[in-house]
Structure 1
Amino acid sequence: MNDNDTEGSPAGPGPLPRRRTDRTARLQLTKDQAGQALELAQWCATDLDEHRLLNELPVLAHELPREIRTFVNEARLDPLGHVIMLSGNQIDQDVLGATPESWRVADTPASRAYGVLLMLYGALLGDPIGWATQQSGRLVTDVLPSRGAEYSLISASSSLELAWHTEDAHSPYRADWVGLFALRNQASVPTTISFVEHSDVPADIARILAEPRFVFEPDASHEFDGDRPEPAPVPVLTGGPGAPVLRADRDFVRAVDGDPEARQALDWVIGHLDANLYDVTLEEGDVAFVDNRNVVHGRRPFQAAFNGSDRWLKRVNVARDLRRIDAGTRRGATCVIV
């Protein structure tokens, strides 16, 4: 943050530098490494019940090839990292079958081992968490286009760009990492990433963004039985240049009513994140863990074919420390947040 800026009325958006800094740590798996990882996941998916799998995930993950474990451990220690990428995972497209029409029918036997593999990789970073209000409380969820949702504001969209966002920005229990596994992406549809460059943030804007003057609503992927919870005002940007915590959602955040300073600061950071947006394409077999504290992510628009060939990702949310999630909000040993 710029210490030369003085307090006063917030600076307007003004001209913003366009930065294309890609802080993605990448590992290209060898054929042997990918084969060993998939074999472990297939064994887990076939021989272990869900309870044992979840309880033993951190132990089972240490049976992944050492090179993978070492790489992920080094990458997670970068406090300013954006994405951890593991490329070259093996996908048998003939066995996998067609991209499902909806997440409701996407938890297929043929795709289960890939979901387990994503959780094994995630266990090198923390514990999987899910939401009782999202995709029937599944820990491993599916990202794919759905007919009728082409212009929606959720990941089932296609024709409309999925705007950048912190995953589940409305909740204090949101994930630290969002894991994405590209089972299919024939059209090379890019994922988008953006971040805040702290040295560009005027001091008066930084002060306002660090105060609880912003409201986040849950998106439509969360289906509540009753009324939606009333969100409390929270900050957008806390921490410092060496350990930032960003909480933003282009479509589902607003300034507190009657707070023009907060509205102006929000406009500034939205413009800044728009300017810093860059593409990271997950090709078939790529696993990416997006740092949900440092960056926001989204997806470019594409034309869905709805013929079984569309983009299909498995997704898992990972928390570094389950103790920060109130035990009263968890459901059982599966770490599903209610």
Structure 2
Amino acid sequence: MSLTLLPANTPRSFYRGSGRIHRFRGIAAPDDPYYPEDWVGSTTSRFGQAPAGLTVLPDGGLLADAIAARPQWWLGAAHVAAYGADPAILVKLLDAGQRLPLHVHPDRRFAGDHLSSPYGKSEAWVIVEARPDAVVHLGFARDVPAARLAGWVAEQRIDEMLAATNRVPVRAGDAVVCPAGLPHAIGEGVFLVEVQEPTDFSVLLEWAGFTDGPEAGHLGLGYELALSCVDRQAWAPDRLAGLGGTRPGGRTGVRRLFPDLADPFFAAERLRPDPVSELEPSFSVVVVTGGAGTLEAEHERPLPVRAGDTVLVPYGAGRGTLRGQVEAVRCKPGGSVHI
């Protein structure tokens, strides 16, 4: 098994989707709207809900088990030396059928000290679709004292919290990094590809109106400790601007997404063949966002792909190309091994 078309992997969540994932994939949507995420190529479980979230391969086995059995083939020797048999990323499709609650993810230091994890949850978004007035809330626009934040959360003064955030318009094609610690909420009407550190750590600043209540929002740490992971400093417009953008990819038909602050955590590329997109060997997830074409690898048979497909690519597939009238986003691990 090498280049692998993955079916949808949609663990139930606490906020609503709008059916975009299922329309994108060309599959029937469930009557229940609480399936707004597709965890693609995942070796990460829902926090406290294992095995929910784990990818099952077409042969019925778990991806995590397959990687553990052949880590160098899946990940490459340099990656295994640095991270072991751990892909070190999680990729999702996310469909915001309602505004997500304002929340925050801990960084690596907090996760190491309090959650026994080498990973926090820095993440980044590649916007696939967005309604004309779509926004994300990203960081506080002014410094927020710890006592004020604790009061807002305890009393669920949501309007005050949201008013203190930066409202950032987004549109299809945007690429935005959300560093660990930064309060954020994705607005209604946004459909995106998310690449992140491989955890499910979230601290909810808001829960009123959502199915998860305060007992699920502090990672079992209590809110006094959990809120200490929040970046309460002001993020001015020029600083926010540094969270977006693209860079030359260094290979034909490839453009790197996100500024260099994302590099220690993950990487993503926009693939637009010219006439091909050249892919170096790497464990990666390819999300086909438009058109149709062919994904080729030096050690594998060509794989026809179309919009809505998600493809798991192991390091052992070798060098590859994407051909055709097609666009895709390729997500892969970060760190000095890959960047």
Q: Give the shorter-chain TM-score range.
A: under 0.3
TM-score between both structures, scaled by the size of structure 2: 0.25
